[in-house]
Amino acid sequence: MTILVTGGAGFIGSNFVLDWVAETGEAVVNLDKLTYAGNPANLASLEGSPLHVFVRADIGDSDTVAKLLRKYNIRAVVNFAAESHVDRSIHGPGEFIQTNVVGTFRLLDEARSYWGELPHDKQRDFRFLHVSTDEVYGSLKPLDPAFKETNPYEPNSPYSASKAASDHLVRAWHHTYGLPVLTTNCSNNYGPYHFPEKLIPLCILNALNDKPLPIYGDGQQVRDWLYVKDHCAAIRRVLEAGEVGETYNVGGWNEKANLEVVNAICSILDELKPRRDGKPYAAQITFVTDRPGHDRRYAIDASKLERELGWKPSETFETGIRKTVQWYLDNTEWVSTVTSGEYRKWIDTNYGSR
Ligand code: NAD
Ligand code: DAU
């Protein structure tokens, strides 16, 4: 049996592929366009493995998707492929519509025709799992209860609107055509292979390079952090036992204000790799112009996934962030390859005028 993973060279996708091969021993066909966010080096440990086939392609390339589904007798599709960074969606929303909406539509439609040709037992067992985000639910007030699967969709950024649109397409392909879909809506991930445009890896690397730690606005925006390997385990569990047509919220019960997150990173670095001048890394914190339309708070109620499928996160924020900081200290070669070229242009675009 083989599964098709899309976006498997990105942050969560590559963690998922590594975790899948190690935990299940089942083969993966990994389709990834290798945008700036895709990095085959994340999968270097699978080089030569018969359990991993890498194909550079776009999820919107219907011919390639159609061929791969049939050639490898795919039994499930796990769709990570997306443009994922909110700030980039503000600077240029076009790619987000193209990949997250049009690309998901094309992938879904190819999955539907393939599924329609399968014999009955294989049709019954086929799954299309769509990986989505808590951002589709909008922004919470300080005392609001955490997002449940029944919350209305209220996306506020071009990124979250494009993900919301893709979730609706997935839902419709189930209700209209019967495609056996599952959707997961997860909170903020962090951990190994996280591209350093996002808050946590950006601040770890800026701290180590004597650069400012840019905090948007007042730094009191709240995110609910989940260690990436816990997200991978949740997806494995939903794929195995989730009820077709259902959505599952995934989160770590770890709500933190951004300033608290950055201070936690600084304290761990003070301990593991003190600054040469003896000052605390927190001295590098700098408040900069806020993100337009910045959502104030996200929080996930993951009780459905816990109750119905028995999943629970295994890391707390404290254990996960320590492992993450250590990973960046240990993987300097990976860091230097991802922080060259295009990456520098992005840093100028996003931070140059703040
Ligand atoms: P990422 O940006 O690190 O990786 C995205 C991957 O998709 C890259 O490898 C990229 O090359 C690939 N890709 C982009 N466009 C493609 C296309 N048209 N065809 C094929 N491949 C394409 O993203 P991530 O943080 O790993 O997120 C993965 C998924 O999880 C996304 O769908 C995102 O919306 C969702 N998600 C992310 C988080 C988070 O905190 N990072 C939380 C919840 C949900
Ligand atoms: O909630 C899930 C989402 O989490 C995913 O769907 C997205 O793909 C993922 O990128 C992430 O979105 P955020 O916008 O929450 O993540 P980011 O790391 O960009 O920002 C986290 C918080 O930190 C947010 O409130 C903005 C703030 N921030 C971010 C950067 C890059 C700063 O204050 N300074 C920064 O330089």
Looking from the CA of residue 9, the nearest atom of ligand 1 is 9
Cα–Cα distance measured from residue 152 to residue 148, given in angstroms and rounded to the nearest whole number: 9
93 CA to centre of ligand 2 in angstroms: 16
Residue 343: pLDDT band with limits 50, 70, 90: confident
Instruction: Report whether residue 188 contacts ligand 2, using a CB cutoff of 6 Å.
Output: yes
pLDDT of residue 302: 98
Q: Identify the CA nearest to 90 among candidates 29, 160, 15.
A: 160
Instruction: Give 141 Cα–ligand 1 centroid separation in angstroms.
Output: 27
Q: Which residues are catalytic?
A: 134-135, 159
| Residue among 188, 194, 260 whose CB has most ligand 2 atoms within 8 A, to mutate | 188
pLDDT at position 354, please? 84
Whole-model pTM? 0.98
Structure tokens at 350: 């996003």
Q: How confident is the model at residue 49 (pLDDT cuts 50, 70, 90)?
A: very high
Residue 265 banded pLDDT, cuts 50, 70, 90? very high
Does 346 score more than 90 pLDDT? Answer: no
pLDDT confidence band for 345 (50 / 70 / 90): confident
Q: What is the mean pLDDT of residues 81-104?
A: 98
Section 290-303 average pLDDT = 98
Looking from the CA of residue 81, the nearest atom of ligand 1 is 7
Max CA pair span of the chain? 68
For residue 183, the CA-to-ligand 2 centroid distance in Å is 21
Q: Whole-number mean pLDDT of the chain?
A: 97
Q: Which amino acid is at 25?
A: G
162 lines ligand 2 (CB under 6 A): no
Cβ distance 99 to 59 under 8 Å?
yes
Q: What is the pLDDT of residues 232-242, one digit of tens each?
A: 999 999 999 99
Task: Quickly state the pLDDT bin for 42 (edges 50, 70, 90).
Answer: very high
Q: Which residues contact 98 (CB under 8 A, 6 or more apart)?
A: 60
Regarding the beta carbon of 52 and ligand 2, being less than 6 Å apart is answered no
Task: Grade residue 285 by pLDDT with cuts at 50, 70 and 90.
Answer: very high
